[in-house]
Amino acid sequence: MQFKLQPHLIGELVELRPLTPTDWSALYAVASDPLIWEQHPAHDRHQEDVFRLYFAQAIDSGGAFVVIDRATGNVIGSTRFYGLDLERSEIEIGWTFLARSHWGGKYNADMKKLLFNHAFQFVDRVVLLVGPDNVRSQKAAERVGGVQDGAVTRPDRHGRPLTSLRFVIEKPA
C-alpha cells in the first residue's frame, strides 16, 4: 500500500480535504490575520504577496490540505504532509495554521489525530518542525504527544538558514 499524501479525512470537529487553487480567497481570509503569525518565523505571512508564495508552494507540494470546521463548513486553516522518508519511516506534518477563533487545542487535536492515524498506517514516526520563538506551537506539539529531539536547519524562502525545533511522535505500539 502506498502513502497517499492528500486523502480526504473527516474527524469529529474538522474535515481535511486536498487544497485546490479555488481555496485561495477563503484561506487568505483566515491567513490575513497578523496575530496568527506573530510568533512564526515567517511573521509577515499575513501579507498577500508573502501568502501567495506560501499558497503556491502548498499547491505544488502535493500534500497540502484545507481545514474545514464541520459545524459551520467554513475554512479555518491549512496543514500539509511533507518529506516522506520511507527509509527512516517518517513523515513531516507542518505549515499548519488555524484561525484564532479555533485556537485552544481541540481543533488542532482533532486535525492531528486524523493526520497521525493516516500516517501511522505507513510510517513509524511523525515529525513536527517548530520555530524556536513559536512557544504557542511548541506547546501545541507537546499536547499532541510530540517530544523534542533536536533541531533542523533548512533554508527559508529567502535562502537564509532557518533553524526549527524537531518534535517527534512515535507510532503507538
Q: Is residue 3 part of a domain?
A: no
* 24-31 and 48-61 helices, crossing angle to 10°: 130
pLDDT of 94 higher than 90 = yes
pLDDT of 50 higher than 80 = yes
Q: What is the pLDDT of residue 5?
A: 96
pLDDT tens digits for range 110-168: 999 999 999 999 999 999 999 999 998 999 999 999 999 999 998 888 888 989 999 99
Mean pLDDT of the chain: 95
Q: What domain range is 145 assigned to?
A: 9-170
What total number of domains does the chain contain? 1
- Residue 105 — very low, low, confident or very high, per pLDDT cuts 50/70/90? confident
Count Cβ neighbours within 10 Å for each residue of 143-173 and write b for 16 or more, e otherwise.
ebbbeeeeeeeeeeeeeeebebbbbbbeeee
Q: Is residue 2 part of a domain?
A: no
Q: The whole model's pTM is what?
A: 0.94
Q: What is the pLDDT of residue 127?
A: 97
Q: Is residue 1 part of a domain?
A: no
Instruction: Specify the CATH number for the domain of residue 141.
Output: 3.40.630.30
The average pLDDT across 22-38 equals 97
